[in-house]
Copies of this chain bind each other. A is one copy, B any other.
Amino acid sequence: MTHTADCRSDRKGLVIVHTGDGKGKTTAALGLFLRAWGRDMRSGGIQFLKHENANYGEHRAIRRMGIELTPMGDGFTWTSRDIDETQDRAIHGWEIAKQKIADGQYDLFLLDEFTYPLHYGWLDTTTVLAWLRDNKPPMLHLVITGRYAPQALIDFADLVTEMKQIKHPWSDQGIKAQKGVEF
């Protein structure tokens, strides 16, 4: 089955954006992985801001599921003092992402926290969206998460959800992040 042959008018690969200041942006992307895994769809992704040696609950789960989720960030991101290295890693992550997206081996691909390189200008949004317009396989579902989604990305996307913080125990009650839920 090729992607092209399967591209009926009522089916298409969606560009999905999870943005906003609330919890659940990456978590909902993981839920999409879970659902896709239940359908034997092929999923993968790049995490732009997680440390490359990270080994959190989601990574353990995803390895067990045979899903490749590659952490590319340096783990301290926009607060990093070494902004050049952060930018280099974002550029490198996007190069890897482009190869993985273009080669058509995925049904679902995640660019986790990819809005930050766009928002902070480490990558040029117009160039990125032009590349996606030309190269994203039509049936591939692409999920992009992170705060500050640029308006051009929202315009480009099919489905955009804002995760809005209503109440947060860490900020409101001083409760620490909980293993297995938060990370």
Q: Quick one: which of A23, A27, A37, A158 has the most chain B CB within 10 A?
A: A27
Say which size band chain A's interface belongs to. Answer: 35 or more
Copies in the complex: 2
What would 20 more interface pairs be, CB under 8 Å, given A17-B166, A28-B31, A37-B61? A16-B181, A18-B24, A24-B31, A30-B31, A30-B35, A31-B31, A31-B32, A34-B58, A35-B56, A35-B58, A35-B180, A38-B57, A38-B58, A38-B60, A39-B57, A154-B166, A154-B167, A158-B173, A162-B166, A163-B163
Chain A contacts to B: CB under 8 angstroms: 10-12, 14, 16-20, 22-24, 26-39, 41, 56-62, 64, 107-108, 141, 154, 157-169, 173, 175-176, 178-181, 183
